[in-house]
Amino acid sequence: HREPLGAEQLERALCQAKDVDAQMEQLVGLLELSEGERRLRHLLVALFQEVFSEFFPGCSVLPFGSSVNSFDAHGCDLDLLLDLEPTKSLQSSVRGSPGAEESILSDIDLASASPPELLELVAAVLRRCVPGVRRVRAVPTARRPVVKFSHKQSGLAGDISVDNRLALHNTRFLRLCAEADERVRPLGYAVRLWAKQQGLAGNPAGGGPLLTNYALTLLVLFFLQTRSPPVLPAVARLRELAGNEDHVVVAGWDCSFPRDAALLEPSANSKSPSSLLAEFFHVFGDFDFSGRVLSLREGRALPLPEASELFKLGSLNLQDPFELSHNVAANVTEKTAARLGHCCRAAAKYCRSLQYRCKSAKGRGWGLVRLFQPGAVEPGAGAASFLITIPMPAPRCPEEPGEGFKEICAGIAFVLRDVLRCRCTPGKPPKQLGAPGVGQSLPEDPVGGKEPPGDTAGEEEEPLQPATASKRPQPDGMDGAALPCAKRPRVNGPEQEEEEEEEKEEEVVASWSCTIWHRVWTGRRRLRRQLLHGASPEEPEEGGDSLELEQKVSEAIVQHEGAAQPPEPLLRFEASARLAGGGQREPRVLLRLTPSPAPGPLFRDFFHFLQAFLPPALRRHLGWGPGADP
């Protein structure tokens, strides 16, 4: 299993390319799965197939999604479909025949089993019979119910869904598009990484307010269909090109298109990938997402349907290419759609600059590198800051959120200082940010700091939200996730008012000035293993299993780097925690890190580490247990 590519490594490699087109090509090479990784996935699928066949004779285990859709990246999840249709037919044909009661087929009638029953059965097989599989849990409430799992030896996370044949065809459609024109993959990878860095995409299966990677990829394909001349044909045109053997209907939806990309006409559009990328941002920077339906079937934006009983209209209307009644962006909130437009405008502006087009002679970030820096290209952005959201477990709220907050602050200081060997000193003098009546007493800061940095006033959770965006509380599903973001520009006008609105939500604040002297975020996994001497049968969850062990790991890193104090810290940042939530939102603690000077790749690597490490470490330290994670 390969560690995900660090931001530093990626930037260094991209900076050396000769131009933006070369960067885009290189990006694909840096992110895509290696032959070995592909083989490993293949073996895992074969293992699942073997085990499930024992229980469900005739079934097939079929991969879909990023492992096979041509938009794979190191560490991407493994989406699997367990097709039980053949088993169901078999079951109905053998019922009552001698010997049938000995097989699992007699235990449960697959045809009449409810989806949750079926999922539990799949989960039970996974738990008991597939070697190396961990953390199995059924998620029956998702739009497409799945069983989640992770695989110990490969470090892969995956989903198994039972009834989702459409996914096989939309995966094959993405792959066909990637094969049809060699600009599709570079563009897809660049837009995916950009959107991830801006906090616009990444929810698995549409569970939150962000675009899923599938929806984002469809947006790229729609863009390519609507160029003049088009880079890709519309799905309706593909249907015409389909041969007899390509005709298929799934759940009533026509999924016919050629299997072979050689049947498609080559595009007459000769633009370079880098200019298409700039054009993508230009087009969607100024697009009426809520007033039209983006139709990949027709390859154009349609007026809103008159009666839209089935198609769920929203802030972004993107029609599935096959399941025509499905808006793949139905989960996207008004706020996210507005931010998508805003981030596209900022990116389009950056793409017009020399820094995008010309390689820096002084070794500074240029081209894609700056595009991928969170908040870096947003005009008027102040110091970039990075947010980690720590959900408060239900028993801690709502009676005494202030108490829970104190405890969390003590925990944050403990993890930073005692587990990660970071030096923390109290922040700047206190400033009560709450509106009269809602403010609460400041918590006792465990490291002596009771103070927010004075300049956090006016920050808000979502960066650069245009004034037109909704103020309604949104069930944003961001808990546990982190949004890299930038401070808002200080301007008067509607935006200012909104910042003040937001301030009233702030209740209690704690802050620290921190310095990091050692690369405590690298090589932890290996050291952990060495320290355990392979004695523990279960690999500990990062940061979550034993904090004593984590302390030893940090100590080993410090020793290894030479115990002598380096002359300068590697990183400096302000950390401030505040309690947020209330009303319809879950109480949660927002930890904001503001590095100075401006964040480089080293800081980003540290941040991504802390984002994964801190929440489970806190749970462990505060004794919340794994169930505390909502």
Provide the binding-site residues for ligand ATP, judged by CB under 6 A.
64-66, 69, 71, 76-77, 79, 167, 170-171, 204-206, 212-215, 328
The residue (of 79 and 459) whose beta carbon lies closer to Mg ion is 79
The residue (of 66 and 226) whose beta carbon lies closer to Mg ion is 66
Report whether 146 contacts 59 (CB < 8 A).
no
> Taking CB under 5 A as the rule, does residue 66 contact Mg ion?
yes
> Taking CB under 5 A as the rule, does residue 144 contact Mg ion?
no
Distance CA 54, CA 105 (A): 10
Closest residue to ligand ATP in the complex (CB): 65
Min. distance of Cβ 249 from Mg ion in angstroms? 25
Min. distance of Cβ 78 from ligand ATP in angstroms? 9
Min. distance of Cβ 345 from ligand ATP in angstroms? 24
Distance CA 476, CA 557 (A): 38
Distance CA 269, CA 276 (A): 10
The residue (of 219 and 589) whose beta carbon lies closer to ligand ATP is 219
> Taking CB under 5 A as the rule, does residue 407 contact Mg ion?
no
Query: What sign for the dihedral angle of Cα 289, 293, 298, 303?
Result: negative
> Taking CB under 5 A as the rule, does residue 65 contact Mg ion?
yes
> Taking CB under 5 A as the rule, does residue 279 contact Mg ion?
no
DSSP state at residue 104? G
Min. distance of Cβ 48 from ligand ATP in angstroms? 17
The 3-class SS string of 413-440 reads HHHHHHHCCCEEEECCCCCCCCCCCCCC
Residues 76-95 that bind Mg ion (CB under 5 A): 77, 79
Q: For residue 413, what are the CA distances in angstroms to 127, 304, 372, 425, 593?
A: 37, 52, 30, 10, 13
Q: Return the one option of Mg ion, ligand ATP, none that residue 69 interacts with (CB less than 5 to 8 A, by type).
A: ligand ATP
The residue (of 66 and 197) whose beta carbon lies closer to Mg ion is 66
Min. distance of Cβ 200 from Mg ion in angstroms? 17
Min. distance of Cβ 338 from ligand ATP in angstroms? 19
Instruction: Give 106-118 as a DSSP string.
Output: GTS-TTT--HHHH
The residue (of 279 and 323) whose beta carbon lies closer to ligand ATP is 323
Q: Residue written as tokens 């984590």?
A: 550
Specify whether the backbone of 568 is left (phi greater than 0), alpha (psi in -120 to 50) or beta. Answer: beta
**Interaxial angle between packed helices 547-560 and 601-621, expressed in degrees from 0 to 180 and rounded to the nearest 10:** 150
The residue (of 65 and 427) whose beta carbon lies closer to Mg ion is 65
Min. distance of Cβ 289 from ligand ATP in angstroms? 15
Report whether 67 contacts 79 (CB < 8 A).
yes
Instruction: Tell me how many helices (H) and strands (E) the chain has.
Output: 18, 16
Which of 298, 328, 335 minimizes the C-alpha distance to 312? 328
Count of residues that interact with Mg ion, criterion CB under 5 A: 4
Q: Return the one option of Mg ion, ligand ATP, none that residue 215 interacts with (CB less than 5 to 8 A, by type).
A: ligand ATP
Distance CA 456, CA 379 (A): 19
The residue (of 28 and 510) whose beta carbon lies closer to ligand ATP is 28
Min. distance of Cβ 176 from ligand ATP in angstroms? 13
Distance CA 610, CA 199 (A): 17
The residue (of 48 and 214) whose beta carbon lies closer to ligand ATP is 214
Q: Tell me the window of 58-66, 134-142, 349-357, 524-532 that interacts with Mg ion (CB under 5 A).
A: 58-66
Give the interface with Mg ion as residue ranges (CB under 5 A): 65-66, 77, 79
